[in-house]
Amino acid sequence: MNRLEKALKRTKEKNEKAFVPYIMAGDGGLDSLMERIVFLETCGATAIEIGIPFSDPVADGPTIQEAGLRSLKENTTLKAVLETILNLRPIVSIPIIVMTYMNPIYAYGITSFIEDASRAGVDGLIIPDVPIEEEEIILSHLTVAQIELIRLVTLTSSEERIKEIAKRGNGFLYAVTVTGITGARVDFHKQVGDYLKKIQSISPIPVLAGFGISTPEQVKEMGQYCDGVVVGSKIVDLFQENKLDEIEKLIQAAKTVNV
Protein backbone atom coordinates (compact mmCIF):
# COMPACT_ATOMS: atom_id res chain seq x y z
CA MET A 1 0.00 0.00 0.00
CA ASN A 2 1.20 3.52 -0.70
CA ARG A 3 0.60 6.49 1.61
CA LEU A 4 -2.86 7.16 0.22
CA GLU A 5 -4.15 3.64 0.74
CA LYS A 6 -2.68 3.53 4.25
CA ALA A 7 -4.29 6.87 5.17
CA LEU A 8 -7.71 5.75 3.94
CA LYS A 9 -7.36 2.47 5.84
CA ARG A 10 -6.42 4.30 9.07
CA THR A 11 -9.36 6.66 8.69
CA LYS A 12 -11.80 3.76 8.32
CA GLU A 13 -10.29 1.94 11.30
CA LYS A 14 -10.92 5.06 13.42
CA ASN A 15 -14.57 5.02 12.25
CA GLU A 16 -14.10 8.44 10.65
CA LYS A 17 -14.75 9.77 7.17
CA ALA A 18 -11.96 10.85 4.86
CA PHE A 19 -11.57 14.54 4.07
CA VAL A 20 -9.53 15.57 1.04
CA PRO A 21 -9.19 19.34 0.54
CA TYR A 22 -8.31 20.73 -2.88
CA ILE A 23 -5.90 23.64 -3.24
CA MET A 24 -4.64 25.38 -6.36
CA ALA A 25 -0.86 25.22 -6.59
CA GLY A 26 0.68 28.68 -6.86
CA ASP A 27 -2.44 30.62 -5.87
CA GLY A 28 -0.66 33.18 -3.71
CA GLY A 29 2.73 31.85 -4.84
CA LEU A 30 4.49 28.54 -4.29
CA ASP A 31 5.57 29.59 -0.78
CA SER A 32 1.89 29.65 0.16
CA LEU A 33 1.51 26.13 -1.25
CA MET A 34 4.03 24.87 1.29
CA GLU A 35 2.30 26.74 4.12
CA ARG A 36 -1.13 25.42 3.15
CA ILE A 37 -0.02 21.80 2.92
CA VAL A 38 1.50 22.00 6.39
CA PHE A 39 -1.64 23.67 7.75
CA LEU A 40 -4.01 21.10 6.22
CA GLU A 41 -1.96 18.20 7.53
CA THR A 42 -1.95 19.76 11.00
CA CYS A 43 -5.74 20.14 10.85
CA GLY A 44 -6.17 16.43 10.19
CA ALA A 45 -6.88 16.20 6.46
CA THR A 46 -6.68 12.64 5.13
CA ALA A 47 -4.89 13.62 1.92
CA ILE A 48 -4.47 16.78 -0.16
CA GLU A 49 -5.45 17.29 -3.79
CA ILE A 50 -3.22 19.84 -5.51
CA GLY A 51 -4.51 21.41 -8.70
CA ILE A 52 -2.16 22.49 -11.48
CA PRO A 53 -3.20 25.74 -13.19
CA PHE A 54 -4.28 25.20 -16.79
CA SER A 55 -5.52 27.70 -19.34
CA ASP A 56 -8.30 25.50 -20.72
CA PRO A 57 -9.90 23.46 -17.90
CA VAL A 58 -13.00 21.37 -18.55
CA ALA A 59 -14.09 20.40 -15.02
CA ASP A 60 -13.29 23.52 -13.01
CA GLY A 61 -15.92 26.06 -12.02
CA PRO A 62 -15.41 29.84 -11.68
CA THR A 63 -13.71 29.77 -8.26
CA ILE A 64 -11.02 27.30 -9.30
CA GLN A 65 -10.63 28.90 -12.73
CA GLU A 66 -9.95 32.26 -11.07
CA ALA A 67 -7.47 30.63 -8.69
CA GLY A 68 -5.77 29.08 -11.71
CA LEU A 69 -5.48 32.47 -13.40
CA ARG A 70 -3.96 33.97 -10.24
CA SER A 71 -1.52 31.07 -10.15
CA LEU A 72 -0.54 31.47 -13.81
CA LYS A 73 0.21 35.14 -13.13
CA GLU A 74 2.68 33.87 -10.52
CA ASN A 75 4.34 31.90 -13.37
CA THR A 76 3.50 28.58 -11.71
CA THR A 77 4.63 25.54 -13.72
CA LEU A 78 4.06 21.83 -13.26
CA LYS A 79 7.79 21.30 -12.80
CA ALA A 80 7.97 23.99 -10.11
CA VAL A 81 5.05 22.43 -8.25
CA LEU A 82 6.73 19.01 -8.21
CA GLU A 83 9.95 20.61 -6.96
CA THR A 84 7.98 22.31 -4.17
CA ILE A 85 6.41 19.00 -3.13
CA LEU A 86 9.85 17.36 -3.19
CA ASN A 87 11.28 20.06 -0.93
CA LEU A 88 8.34 19.70 1.45
CA ARG A 89 8.39 15.91 1.73
CA PRO A 90 10.95 15.77 4.57
CA ILE A 91 8.52 17.58 6.89
CA VAL A 92 5.09 16.29 5.79
CA SER A 93 3.84 12.71 5.42
CA ILE A 94 0.30 13.40 4.23
CA PRO A 95 -0.67 11.75 0.91
CA ILE A 96 -0.58 14.15 -2.02
CA ILE A 97 -2.76 13.83 -5.12
CA VAL A 98 -2.03 15.96 -8.19
CA MET A 99 -4.98 17.04 -10.34
CA THR A 100 -4.06 18.11 -13.85
CA TYR A 101 -5.06 17.67 -17.46
CA MET A 102 -3.35 15.55 -20.10
CA ASN A 103 -2.04 18.47 -22.12
CA PRO A 104 0.46 19.67 -19.47
CA ILE A 105 1.61 16.06 -18.98
CA TYR A 106 2.20 15.66 -22.73
CA ALA A 107 4.11 18.94 -22.77
CA TYR A 108 6.23 17.77 -19.84
CA GLY A 109 6.74 14.30 -21.33
CA ILE A 110 4.82 11.38 -19.82
CA THR A 111 7.88 9.43 -18.68
CA SER A 112 9.66 12.48 -17.28
CA PHE A 113 6.51 13.65 -15.49
CA ILE A 114 5.91 10.31 -13.78
CA GLU A 115 9.57 10.00 -12.79
CA ASP A 116 9.59 13.51 -11.28
CA ALA A 117 6.21 13.00 -9.59
CA SER A 118 7.42 9.76 -8.03
CA ARG A 119 10.66 11.39 -6.87
CA ALA A 120 8.65 14.25 -5.34
CA GLY A 121 6.47 11.86 -3.35
CA VAL A 122 3.18 12.20 -5.24
CA ASP A 123 0.78 9.42 -4.24
CA GLY A 124 -2.13 9.87 -6.63
CA LEU A 125 -3.10 11.51 -9.90
CA ILE A 126 -6.45 12.79 -11.20
CA ILE A 127 -6.77 13.52 -14.94
CA PRO A 128 -10.41 14.48 -15.64
CA ASP A 129 -10.03 14.52 -19.42
CA VAL A 130 -8.71 10.96 -19.74
CA PRO A 131 -11.49 8.32 -19.88
CA ILE A 132 -10.74 4.70 -18.98
CA GLU A 133 -10.65 3.82 -22.68
CA GLU A 134 -7.57 6.01 -23.12
CA GLU A 135 -5.80 5.70 -19.77
CA GLU A 136 -3.32 3.06 -20.98
CA ILE A 137 -1.19 5.88 -22.40
CA ILE A 138 -0.14 6.67 -18.84
CA LEU A 139 -1.33 3.82 -16.61
CA SER A 140 1.66 1.50 -17.06
CA HIS A 141 4.03 4.30 -16.00
CA LEU A 142 1.93 5.03 -12.92
CA THR A 143 1.80 1.36 -11.93
CA VAL A 144 5.58 1.09 -11.96
CA ALA A 145 5.88 4.32 -9.94
CA GLN A 146 3.19 3.14 -7.46
CA ILE A 147 1.14 6.28 -8.07
CA GLU A 148 -2.61 5.66 -7.96
CA LEU A 149 -4.78 6.89 -10.82
CA ILE A 150 -7.94 8.27 -9.20
CA ARG A 151 -10.92 7.74 -11.48
CA LEU A 152 -14.22 9.61 -11.55
CA VAL A 153 -17.81 8.43 -11.90
CA THR A 154 -20.79 10.75 -12.35
CA LEU A 155 -24.53 10.89 -11.86
CA THR A 156 -24.94 9.95 -15.52
CA SER A 157 -22.60 6.91 -15.40
CA SER A 158 -24.37 3.61 -16.03
CA GLU A 159 -24.16 0.83 -13.46
CA GLU A 160 -22.05 -1.21 -15.88
CA ARG A 161 -19.59 1.64 -16.33
CA ILE A 162 -19.41 2.28 -12.58
CA LYS A 163 -18.55 -1.41 -12.08
CA GLU A 164 -15.87 -1.24 -14.77
CA ILE A 165 -14.28 1.91 -13.32
CA ALA A 166 -14.59 0.79 -9.69
CA LYS A 167 -12.69 -2.47 -10.19
CA ARG A 168 -9.59 -0.60 -11.36
CA GLY A 169 -6.96 0.81 -9.02
CA ASN A 170 -6.41 0.83 -5.27
CA GLY A 171 -6.80 4.46 -4.19
CA PHE A 172 -10.36 5.74 -4.05
CA LEU A 173 -13.24 6.23 -6.44
CA TYR A 174 -14.19 9.88 -6.93
CA ALA A 175 -17.99 10.17 -7.11
CA VAL A 176 -19.04 13.47 -8.68
CA THR A 177 -22.23 14.65 -6.95
CA VAL A 178 -23.43 17.23 -9.47
CA THR A 179 -23.94 17.42 -13.21
CA GLY A 180 -21.61 20.11 -14.48
CA ILE A 181 -18.52 21.88 -13.19
CA THR A 182 -17.12 22.36 -9.70
CA GLY A 183 -18.40 25.05 -7.35
CA ALA A 184 -20.25 25.40 -4.06
CA ARG A 185 -23.93 24.34 -4.09
CA VAL A 186 -26.74 25.29 -1.73
CA ASP A 187 -28.24 21.82 -2.01
CA PHE A 188 -27.96 18.63 -4.02
CA HIS A 189 -30.24 16.56 -6.20
CA LYS A 190 -32.48 14.37 -4.05
CA GLN A 191 -31.12 11.23 -5.75
CA VAL A 192 -27.49 11.86 -4.71
CA GLY A 193 -27.82 9.77 -1.54
CA ASP A 194 -29.11 6.76 -3.48
CA TYR A 195 -26.42 7.30 -6.13
CA LEU A 196 -23.65 7.27 -3.52
CA LYS A 197 -25.06 4.23 -1.74
CA LYS A 198 -25.21 2.37 -5.07
CA ILE A 199 -21.57 3.18 -5.84
CA GLN A 200 -20.57 2.23 -2.31
CA SER A 201 -22.24 -1.16 -2.75
CA ILE A 202 -20.44 -1.75 -6.05
CA SER A 203 -16.95 -0.42 -5.37
CA PRO A 204 -14.22 -2.59 -3.83
CA ILE A 205 -12.27 0.58 -2.97
CA PRO A 206 -13.27 3.62 -0.85
CA VAL A 207 -15.77 6.04 -2.40
CA LEU A 208 -15.34 9.79 -1.85
CA ALA A 209 -17.94 12.34 -2.92
CA GLY A 210 -16.91 15.63 -4.47
CA PHE A 211 -18.02 18.74 -6.40
CA GLY A 212 -20.21 21.32 -4.69
CA ILE A 213 -19.66 20.39 -1.03
CA SER A 214 -19.11 23.58 0.93
CA THR A 215 -20.43 23.40 4.51
CA PRO A 216 -19.84 21.19 7.57
CA GLU A 217 -23.47 20.09 7.28
CA GLN A 218 -22.95 18.95 3.68
CA VAL A 219 -19.75 17.14 4.69
CA LYS A 220 -21.77 15.22 7.29
CA GLU A 221 -24.68 14.63 4.91
CA MET A 222 -22.50 13.16 2.16
CA GLY A 223 -20.43 11.23 4.68
CA GLN A 224 -23.50 9.20 5.65
CA TYR A 225 -23.53 7.59 2.21
CA CYS A 226 -19.84 7.01 1.41
CA ASP A 227 -16.30 6.91 2.81
CA GLY A 228 -15.57 10.62 2.74
CA VAL A 229 -15.54 13.84 0.76
CA VAL A 230 -13.39 16.05 -1.44
CA VAL A 231 -13.90 19.79 -0.98
CA GLY A 232 -12.42 22.19 -3.52
CA SER A 233 -13.98 25.55 -4.34
CA LYS A 234 -14.89 26.32 -0.73
CA ILE A 235 -11.34 25.58 0.45
CA VAL A 236 -9.94 27.82 -2.28
CA ASP A 237 -12.30 30.63 -1.24
CA LEU A 238 -11.51 30.26 2.47
CA PHE A 239 -7.77 30.39 1.88
CA GLN A 240 -8.27 33.47 -0.30
CA GLU A 241 -10.28 35.08 2.52
CA ASN A 242 -7.82 33.83 5.18
CA LYS A 243 -10.62 32.09 7.10
CA LEU A 244 -8.48 29.25 8.38
CA ASP A 245 -10.78 28.43 11.28
CA GLU A 246 -13.60 27.62 8.86
CA ILE A 247 -11.33 25.25 6.95
CA GLU A 248 -10.59 23.44 10.19
CA LYS A 249 -14.33 23.17 10.93
CA LEU A 250 -14.91 21.52 7.55
CA ILE A 251 -12.16 18.97 8.20
CA GLN A 252 -13.40 18.21 11.70
CA ALA A 253 -16.94 17.66 10.41
CA ALA A 254 -15.74 14.52 8.62
CA LYS A 255 -14.60 13.07 11.92
CA THR A 256 -18.05 13.35 13.50
CA VAL A 257 -20.34 11.84 10.87
CA ASN A 258 -23.09 9.73 12.39
CA VAL A 259 -23.79 6.71 10.22
In the structure, what pLDDT confidence band is assigned to residue 179 with cuts at 50, 70 and 90? low
- DSSP-derived letter for residue 256 is G
pLDDT in tens, 81-109: 999 999 999 999 999 999 999 999 999 99
pLDDT tens, position by position, 21-70? 999 999 999 999 999 999 999 999 999 999 999 887 676 678 999 999 99
Region of residue 26 (left: phi > 0; alpha: psi -120 to 50; beta: else)? left
Q: What are phi and psi of 151, to 5 degrees?
A: -105, 155
The pLDDT tens digits of the residues spanning 200-256 come to 999 999 999 999 899 999 999 999 999 999 999 999 999 999 999 999 999 999 999
Query: Which residues are annotated as catalytic?
Result: 49, 60
Backbone angles phi, psi at 50, to 5 degrees: -110, 115
Rounded-to-integer distance, Cα 35 and Cα 84, Å? 11
- Under a CB-based contact definition with an 8 Å cutoff, are residues 125 and 98 in contact? yes
Helix (H, G, I), strand (E, B) or coil at 121: coil
In the chain, what percentage of residues exceed pLDDT 70? 93
- Beta-strand ranges (E) seen in the chain are 18-24, 48-51, 96-99, 124-126, 148-149, 151-153, 173-176, 207-210, 228-231
Please give the CATH superfamily to which domain 3-256 belongs.
Answer: Aldolase class I (3.20.20.70)
Task: Supply the pTM of this predicted model.
Answer: 0.93
